[in-house]
Amino acid sequence: MTAFPRPRLIATDLDGTLLCSGGTVTTRTAAALAAAEAAGVQVVFVTGRPPRWMQHLGAHIGGHGVAICSNGGAVVDVRRGELLETYPFDPARTLSVTDLIRAELPGTAFAFEFPDGFAREPGYNVVMWESDKEHPVGTAAELLAAGQVDGLFKVLGKHPDLAPDEFLDRARAAVGPLAEVTRSSPIPLVEISAPGVTKASSLARWCAQQGIEAAEVVAFGDMPNDLEMLAWAGQSYAVANAHPLVLAAVARHTVSNEQDGVAAIIETLI
């Protein structure tokens, strides 16, 4: 592999990139992350996961400093479990976005992420850790009008039967410049943020606060929601299991998440 100068910051996606099946980190990857931080290199997790899901990873990712969550919508201090910043979505604009997508793609149901938790429409089936928790349920119009999702920083749209990439393409076309629309799930699920809010925008803002330039960042990812970040960073790698769009867009590849692809590169840099 070509040798590069040691970066000042490592930015890595979690699911499908750093984490193995089951959401765990191998001993090798944990050691590589620890070695990076011991060498003075910041490690920042940049994920589509909401802040409330970071607590489930504590045993696997350790106490690394910062996580940029919800595709850039929120910044979390992992060590302290503290929400540092959010980039909220205007409620009126949010309702316009949901109306446009639903008009183009009937059957779409929505959910909302905000600092105090999660809310959903009745047709949005909950899975993973939300399934056993109480949360507001109502139509998008009801939830937004009632202020039950104040400060929301991400909207989720789920369709019952479209192919995931078709759903993404059509949702983007319906919304236009009103929002950022992307995806990271293997199911037909789109992830929607305020205009200009992406993994890249929040990572760039964090790096600027630390005096770190894009050229000093190495980034890793696997899905369309990583594309802006991978384009921004000075060095970027797609894991072998990445979405075809990511593999095509990123010149440098590493082995899959199951083969410690992120660790394999970190070991050459530290």
Q: What does the pLDDT look like over 177-216, one tens digit per residue?
A: 999 999 999 999 999 999 999 999 999 999 999 999 999 9
Q: What pLDDT is stored for residue 1 in this prediction? A: 42
Q: What pLDDT is stored for residue 56 in this prediction? A: 62
pTM of the shown model: 0.93
What's the maximum distance between 2 C-alpha atoms anywhere in the chain? 55
Looking at per-residue pLDDT, the higher value among 111 and 134 belongs to 111
pLDDT tier, 4 (very low <50, low <70, confident <90, very high otherwise): low
**pLDDT at residue 132 is higher than 90:** no
DSSP character at residue 60: H
Lowest mean pLDDT among 55-59, 85-89, 167-171, 209-213: 55-59
Percent of residues, the chain, with pLDDT higher than 90: 80
- Which residues, 6+ apart, have CB-to-CB distance to 185 below 8 Å? 164
Do 237 and 83 form a contact (C-beta atoms < 8 A)? no
Nearest 5°: CA angle at 75, between 204 and 82?
150
pLDDT tier, 107 (very low <50, low <70, confident <90, very high otherwise): very high
Looking at per-residue pLDDT, the higher value among 261 and 145 belongs to 261
Other beta carbons within 10 Å of 250: 23
pLDDT tier, 148 (very low <50, low <70, confident <90, very high otherwise): confident
Token couple for 101: 């997508």
Q: What separation in angstroms does the CA of 241 have from each of 12, 91, 219? A: 15, 36, 16
pLDDT tier, 106 (very low <50, low <70, confident <90, very high otherwise): very high
Q: Is 166 helix (H, G, I), strand (E, B) or coil?
A: helix
Mean pLDDT rounded to a whole number for the chain: 92
Per the listing, tokens 């440098």 go with: 252
